[in-house]
Chain A
C-alpha cells in the first residue's frame, strides 16, 4: 500500500511536550479549585458544592464515555478504531484520579447539608414521609458505600484496559487483546449498572421525590456525546502537534462524526421519552421536576437552548457526509457539543428543587466558572500526562493494519 512508507515515518510518540502541558493544566486547575474555595464562603457552601457536582459530573462523564468506547471496541472486535483507541484509553485512564476528586462531594452528604442532598439531613427526613420511605436506600452511610463500589469498579476497569493495551506495545502478544475481549463483556455489564445507579445517586437524588427510570440512560447518552466530541478534539490536537499524521485519516473523522450524530439523536430520543411520559401522565411528583425547569424564564430559556443546541442544530449540521469528512468543520461542531453537554448537566444539577431550603441569588455563579477551570484543568492534566509516556496508538495491536487501511464505503 502507498500508506506504509508514510506510516513508517510518522511520529507516534511525544517526548517532553505532554509533561509540560499537563503540569501547566494542573497548575491552572489547582488555581481554579483554590479560587472556588476562596469564593465559597461568599456564595454559600451549598452553591459551592452544587457547582462542584456539576463540573465534576462533566469531567467524569467524559471519562466514563471513554471507558465505554474502549470496552465497546474490544467487545465488537472493531478494527477501524484501533488508531484512535489509545487516545480514548488516555481519557479513561483519568478515572482513578477522578475517584480522588470525588471525595469532597462526600462532605455535604456526611454533614447532612440539606441544600445539596436534602435526604442527607435527618431533620428534613423526619418531616417528610416519602424520604422516610426511601431512607433505606438514600442515607449517607449507604450512599458512601455505593460510591466506593462505583469508583472501585471504574478504576479497576480503566486500569485493566489501559495497562494491557500498553503492555502489548512492548510484547506484541495477541493474548492481551484476547484477554481484554473477554473482559469487555462482564465489564460492559458492570459499567451499565454502575453508571445507572451512580446517576440515580449523584444527580437524580438532588430531587429525591422525583424519579425517572430512564434517567441513567439519559446521563449515559449525554456522556457519550460529550466523549466523542472530546475525542475528535484530542485527536485533532495530537495531529496538530505533529503525531499520527498518517494513521488517523479523514475516514476516522468521518466515523467519529457518525457516532456523534448517532448519539445526539439517541440523547434526544431518550430526553423526549422521559419528557413525554411525565408530561402525559401529569403526576404531581413527576411534573415538579419539569415545573422547576419550565416556569422560570431563565430555565425555560436553558431548556429551549438544549432542544435547539443539543439536538436540532447538531442534527442538521452533522446529517450530511460533507462536514464529517472535514475536520475543519467537525472541530467546531465538537466544541459546540461539548458546551451543550455541560449545559445539559447544568440543567440537571442547578435548578432549585421545589421546596428546597436555599434560594440561589443567581442561576450562574463564579464558582461554576472557577470549578470548571479547576476540575477541567486537573482532568486535562490526567489525560495529557500519559501521552508523553506511551505510544499514541496501540503499535502492535493485531488489528492495527485494518485501522490504517480503513475506508468508508
Chain B
C-alpha cells in the first residue's frame, strides 16, 4: 500500500514546484531573535515559532505567549489522585454493608482488615498511598498534558529536513512561520521576513513529501510482538478451562504450606519444643480474665440471673445472636430451638448408638434456668455437646443466650404478649 502511494505522488513532485510548508529566518544571536519575535508578534501572525540552542530569557513576552494552563491541569489531577487514594482505601477496607444506608450503598462491603489493632478507617496508615497517588496523577498529568498541549509526539517535521536548521542545536537561532497561518502569503511574508533586522537568511521550507506509511519491517515487528503478547493470556485461559492432576504452581506462597508438628514430635526450637511457652508474667491479648460475669456467667458462686451490665441488649445484639445461633446451634437444636436440627433428625433416622437427643430449649426446665447457666453450657458443653468457649467470643455467646430467650418467649407466647391492635388478626 505504501508503495502504491509513493508512485502516485512521484509524477506530481516532478512537475509542480514544491509547496512551501513554512518560511524560515536565521539569526546569529539571541538578541536578534528577540527583536524579530517582537516584530512578528506585532504583525499579528498566529502560527509561528522560534527555535534556539538554549532557553532565551524574555522570549515568552517577545512572542506574546500567555502563561501556560498546565499548572491548573496538574492541580486538578493532583486533587483527583488525592481523592482516588482516599476513596480506594476507604471503599476497600473501611466500608461496611451492614452499617450503610439502604440502597446502592449496601454493595460496598470492605475487607475490614484490622492491622496492628488500628481502626479500619485509619488516616495515618492511608496517607502514604494518598500521597503517592497524588504524586503519580500529577506527574502523569504534567507529562501527558505537556505533550498534548505541544501536539506531541510527532514523528517528523519538514523543518528537520532543512539543511540550515541543523545548526539550531549549536549556534544558530531560527524563527519559522507556518504556511497554515491565516496571514501567510508566500511572496509578501517572504518580503516581510527579509527586512527583519539582522536576518542572516530567509529560506523556504518545502513540504514534507516523505512516505507517511509505516515501513513494512516495523509493521511485521509490531504484529510479531502482538502475537507474542497474546501467548501468556492464552496460556492462562487454557489453564483456567482444563483440568490437571498436577499440584498448582504457587508463585506466591502466602504461607499455604507450613511446617506442622504432632504431639511429642521434636520441634525446630533449641529446646526441641514446637511452640514457645508463654513468657512469665504476660497474658495473651484477649485472655485477661477480668470480668467474671461476662466471661463465666457467674456472680459470686451463683449463676448470673441477668445479662452483664457492660452489654447493651438491643436489636443489633439479637440479630447477632440469631446469626451465631444459626451457625453453631441450629444444626443440632434446630432453628426454632426445639431440638430437631438436621443432625438430630439424621441421627434418629440412622438410630445411632449412644446418641443423646439435644434438649429442647423451649421446655420449662431450660426456660427457668438463669442466663448465666445457659451461658456456661455453651462455654463448657454438656453431655455429648462439645464446649464452644474457644470458638465463640464471650459477647457472641451472650448474644446467643439473648436470642434463646427470645425464642423461648416466642414459642410460649400468650395472647397478652401480642400488641392489642393486631390481636384481632389472630382470631
Contact = CB atoms under 8 A, between A and B. Distances in A.
Interface in B66-119: 116-118
Interface string B120-154: 00001101100000000000000000000000000
A394 to B, nearest CB: 23
Given A407-B57, A409-B55, A409-B57, A282 B124 contact: no
A281 B118 CA distance: 10
A280 B125 CA distance: 7
A282 B117 CA distance: 9
Given A280-B116, A282-B117, A409-B57, A272 B125 contact: no
Contacts of B116: 280-282
A276 B117 CA distance: 14
Nearest to B118: A280
Contacts of B117: 282
A401 to B, nearest CB: 14
Interface in A346-401: none
A291 interface: no
A382 B128 CA distance: 43
Contacts of A276: 124-125, 127-128
B309 to A, nearest CB: 29
A275 interface: yes
A279 B126 CA distance: 13
Contacts of B127: 272, 276
Nearest to A406: B57
Interface string B311-333: 00000000000000000000000
Contacts of B55: 409
Interface string A274-294: 011001111000000000000
B275 to A, nearest CB: 23
Contacts of A409: 55, 57
A275 B57 CA distance: 44
Contacts of B57: 407, 409
Interface in A89-114: none
Contacts of B118: 280
Nearest to A281: B116
Contacts of A275: 124
A281 B55 CA distance: 50
Interface in A245-294: 272, 275-276, 279-282
A409 to B, nearest CB: 6
A258 to B, nearest CB: 14
B127 to A, nearest CB: 7
Chain B at the A interface: mostly helix, strand, loop or mixed?
Answer: loop
A1 B218 CA distance: 53
Nearest to B125: A280
A110 B144 CA distance: 62
A320 to B, nearest CB: 10
A330 to B, nearest CB: 20
Nearest to A276: B124
Interface in A308-344: none
A185 B383 CA distance: 81
A280 B116 CA distance: 7
Contacts of A272: 127
Of the candidates A275, A280, A281, A407, the one having the most CB atoms from chain B within 10 angstroms of its own CB is: A280
Of the candidates A281, A282, A409, the one having the most CB atoms from chain B within 10 angstroms of its own CB is: A409
A129 to B, nearest CB: 16
A126 B57 CA distance: 68
A409 B125 CA distance: 39
Interface string A159-192: 0000000000000000000000000000000000
A125 B166 CA distance: 75
A275 to B, nearest CB: 7
A275 B127 CA distance: 12
Contacts of B125: 276, 280
A282 B128 CA distance: 17
Interface string B171-212: 000000000000000000000000000000000000000000
Contacts of B128: 276
A276 B115 CA distance: 14
A334 B124 CA distance: 29
B408 to A, nearest CB: 45
A405 to B, nearest CB: 8
Nearest to A408: B57
A337 B125 CA distance: 28
B197 to A, nearest CB: 20
Contacts of B124: 275-276, 279-280
B194 to A, nearest CB: 30
Contacts of A282: 116-117
A91 B267 CA distance: 65
Contacts of A281: 116
A409 B124 CA distance: 37
A272 B125 CA distance: 11
B381 to A, nearest CB: 37
A393 B116 CA distance: 56
Contacts of A279: 124
Interface string B31-52: 0000000000000000000000
Interface in A215-237: none
B196 to A, nearest CB: 23
Nearest to B117: A282
A282 B115 CA distance: 11
Nearest to B115: A280
A407 B57 CA distance: 7
A278 B139 CA distance: 29
A320 B350 CA distance: 83
A33 to B, nearest CB: 42
A276 B116 CA distance: 12
A279 B124 CA distance: 8
A280 B119 CA distance: 11
Interface in B350-367: none
A220 B118 CA distance: 31
Of the candidates A279, A281, A407, the one having the most CB atoms from chain B within 10 angstroms of its own CB is: A279
Nearest to A279: B124
Interface string B237-274: 00000000000000000000000000000000000000
A84 B115 CA distance: 50
B121 to A, nearest CB: 15
Nearest to B55: A409
A102 B124 CA distance: 38
Contacts of A280: 116, 118, 124-125
A85 B55 CA distance: 25
A325 B26 CA distance: 36
Contacts of A407: 57
B136 to A, nearest CB: 16
Nearest to B57: A407
B417 to A, nearest CB: 50
A325 to B, nearest CB: 14
Interface of B: 55, 57, 116-118, 124-125, 127-128
9 contacts: A272-B127, A275-B124, A276-B125, A276-B127, A279-B124, A280-B118, A280-B124, A282-B117, A409-B57
Interface of A: 272, 275-276, 279-282, 407, 409
Listed from nearest, the 7 A-B pairs whose CB atoms lie closest are A407-B57, A276-B124, A279-B124, A282-B116, A280-B116, A409-B55, A280-B125
Given A272-B127, A280-B124, 15 more contacts: A275-B124, A276-B124, A276-B125, A276-B127, A276-B128, A279-B124, A280-B116, A280-B118, A280-B125, A281-B116, A282-B116, A282-B117, A407-B57, A409-B55, A409-B57
